[in-house]
Amino acid sequence: METKKALPVLFAVMFLVMVGFGIIIPVMPFYAEEIGASPTQLGLLMAVYSLMQLLFAPMWGRISDKIGRKPVIMIGIFGLGISFLLMALSTELWMLFAARVLGGFLSSANMPTVMAYVADITSEEDRGKGMGIVGAAVGMGFVFGPAIGGVFSSESLHIPFFIAGASSFITFFFVWLVLKESLTPDQRSSANKRAPLRQAFNGPTSMLFLLQLFVSLSLSGLEATFAYFAAEKAGLGTVQLGYIFMIMGLAGAIVQGGIVGRLTKKWGEGAAIQIGIVVSAIGFGLILLTDSFWSAALFLSVFGIGNGFIRPSVSSLLTKQSVSGHGSMTGLLSSFDSFGRIIGPPLGGWLFAVAIGLPYISGMLLSLLALFLFQVYKRKSRTAIDHSAPIK
């Protein structure tokens, strides 16, 4: 499938997937509470989804290297639809947990396989642009999904889950009919399954995986605490916070969809990653100065813009250095991202309880640590290239 035709299709697929996922975000706490979940159980309900992604994203990435991208993407989307329907029909808490476990297990196929598809169809020069377009689709889905969920939840808390399920099944048929397979039979890798793990924990690329972990950790800590922070510092309510996160999402999507590709093509992924980390750190610092709706929207958008540079650029850089299939590498990256999302919210909540500004101060420190890790990565990469050079 030609790149010019495939990228818009992938954008549509990830946008629809994330709209479905986003629809349930504002509803889930109230829905779980209605069934009988305590605040602790609600936290576990959120965490178990990320845990499944942590455990199984690398597996799905490897499977997509062997059987092709399209069937794995279809499995992930169909599984997401089933999990939404099961949640809509849940009458007891264990049923809700079972649906989340199933959804996390199957939907962990989506992101790494779509990223691997992008790597399959793009040249190294245009890789950053392709990853950015997918990232923009994710961001836009998170902008529109929660808004749709909020509107339809006024009638019944069950309705958003049915809508999310229907959206997923529509996306499934869209992929089936429109998306072409990116790997030919002879391209489907039989590479050593342990190769990605060796890359993750040995050599220069290990720094990129750790960098993504710290970025995810700081982002999820912000997401978990900002509502309380904004309420205390600026008296903002849920509706205003919804608009603020929408503005942040749009800012990040614009960066990923339009700027990342141009920047990586001209200066390389390294420049984009470093700019993103620095801007994110500045955003964390500015958030501490929040005192109104507009200052919150502006400062959070600065952070969102910085964050928008990082993930697509890291994905692009890793797939360029993959010693096995692209799916194995993007699956492992998704796993590190999920690990950050598991430990970030409780850590952010604990820091917030100590002092309300600590999650954002720690975000700045984690950003500086990520910047240091990238410098280590660059130094190790140069050393590896020097050692691999032929002796003259």
Phi, psi of 192 (to 5 degrees): -55, 125
Q: Which of 40-44, 249-253, 267-271 has the lowest mean pLDDT?
A: 40-44
What is the pLDDT, as a whole number, of residue 191? Answer: 52
Say yes or no to pLDDT of 192 above 70.
Answer: no
Identify whether 321 is part of a domain.
yes
Distance CA 12, CA 137 (A): 7
Identify whether 189 is part of a domain.
no
Report the share of the chain in percent with pLDDT over 90: 62
Identify whether 184 is part of a domain.
no
What is the pLDDT, as a whole number, of residue 241? Answer: 83
Report the share of the chain in percent with pLDDT over 70: 92
Identify whether 27 is part of a domain.
yes
Identify whether 215 is part of a domain.
yes
Identify whether 129 is part of a domain.
yes
What is the pLDDT, as a whole number, of residue 325? Answer: 75
What is the pLDDT, as a whole number, of residue 389? Answer: 40
Between 386 and 222, name the one with better pLDDT: 222
Overall domain count for the chain:
1
Say yes or no to pLDDT of 222 above 60.
Answer: yes
Long-range contacts formed by 290-299: CB under 8 A, 24+ apart: 290/229, 290/230, 290/233, 290/234, 291/233, 291/234, 292/234, 293/234, 293/236, 293/240, 293/243, 293/244, 295/234, 296/230, 296/234, 296/236, 296/244, 297/243, 297/244, 297/247, 297/248
- 79's CB contacts (< 8 A; 6+ apart) are 102, 103, 105, 106, 107, 109
Say yes or no to pLDDT of 112 above 60.
Answer: yes
Distance CA 120, CA 322 (A): 12
Identify whether 64 is part of a domain.
yes
pLDDT, average across residues 267-289: 96
Q: What domain range is 216 assigned to?
A: 3-178+196-380
What is the pLDDT, as a whole number, of residue 199? Answer: 58
Q: Give the pLDDT band of residue 73 (cuts 50, 70, 90).
A: very high
Say yes or no to pLDDT of 130 above 50.
Answer: yes
Say yes or no to pLDDT of 174 above 90.
Answer: yes
> Tokens standing for 80?
């997401």
pTM, rounded to two decimals: 0.87
Identify whether 388 is part of a domain.
no
**Residue 27's domain is classified under what CATH number?**
1.20.1250.20
* 21-25, 152-156, 218-222: which is most confident: 218-222
Q: Give the pLDDT band of residue 391 (cuts 50, 70, 90).
A: very low
